[in-house]
Amino acid sequence: MQADALHFLGDALTYSLSLAVIGMSLQRRASVAIAKAVSLLAMGFWVGGSTVWRFFEAGVPEASVMGWIGALALLANVASVLILVRYKDGDANVRSVWLCSRNDAIGNVAVMIAALGVWDTATGWPDLVVALGMSGLFLTSATQIFRQGIGEWRKAVQ
C-alpha cells in the first residue's frame, strides 16, 4: 500500500513534467527523463528499505484495507495504461510515463494478491515479498529510463 501511495504521487509529478516538456528539444526531454529515473531509483530503494523495516517493527498489515485500495487503484491505473500503451516505445520522457503507469497496474494486482496472502496466513510475509518485488520493478524501470535518457541526451548534444 505504501508503494502504491508513493507511486501515485510520483505519477502526478511524472505526468506534469512529461507534459511540460513535450515539444521541447530532445536534450531537454532526455534531461527530464533522467531526473525521473533518478527519482524512481530513490523510490525503489525507499520502498524496499522501509518495507523491511516495517516488517520487523510494525507487524501484520490490514488485509482488507490492502485489498480495497489495490482494487480501487487498479481501476484508475488500467485506464491510464490503456491510454498510454501506444506510447510505450517513445522517447525516454514518454516511455517513463508508460513504465510508471504499467508499474502501478502491476503493483495494484500484486497488492491484492498480497492482501489475500496476509489474510490467509495472518502474517506480513506476503506483503514483504510483494513490496520487495515492486522495489525491484521500480529499480529495473529506473535503469531502463536512465539508459535510454542518457543515450538520447548524448545524441542531442552531438
Separation CA 121–CA 46 (nearest Å): 26
How many percent of the chain have pLDDT more than 70?
93
Residue 84: pLDDT over 90: no
Separation CA 40–CA 116 (nearest Å): 27
Residue 119: pLDDT over 80: yes
Separation CA 70–CA 148 (nearest Å): 30
Contact criterion met (CB below 8 Å) for 40 and 100:
yes
Question: Which amino acid type is present at position 61?
Answer: P
Residue 89: pLDDT over 80: yes
Q: Which residues of 45-63 are buried (b: 16+ CB within 10 A; e: fewer)?
A: eebbebbeebbeeeeebeb
Domain, as residue range, for 123 = 2-157
CA angle, residues 145, 73, 125, in degrees to nearest 5: 85
| Average pLDDT over all residues of the chain | 85
**DSSP letter (8 states) at residue 60:** -
User: What digits encode the pLDDT tens for the residues 4-53?
Assistant: 566 667 778 778 888 899 889 999 999 999 998 998 898 889 888 887 78
Q: How many domains is the chain partitioned into structurally?
A: 1
Q: What is the pLDDT of residue 78?
A: 87
Q: What is the pLDDT of residue 3?
A: 57
Residue 128: pLDDT over 60: yes
The pLDDT of 112-124, averaged and rounded, is 90
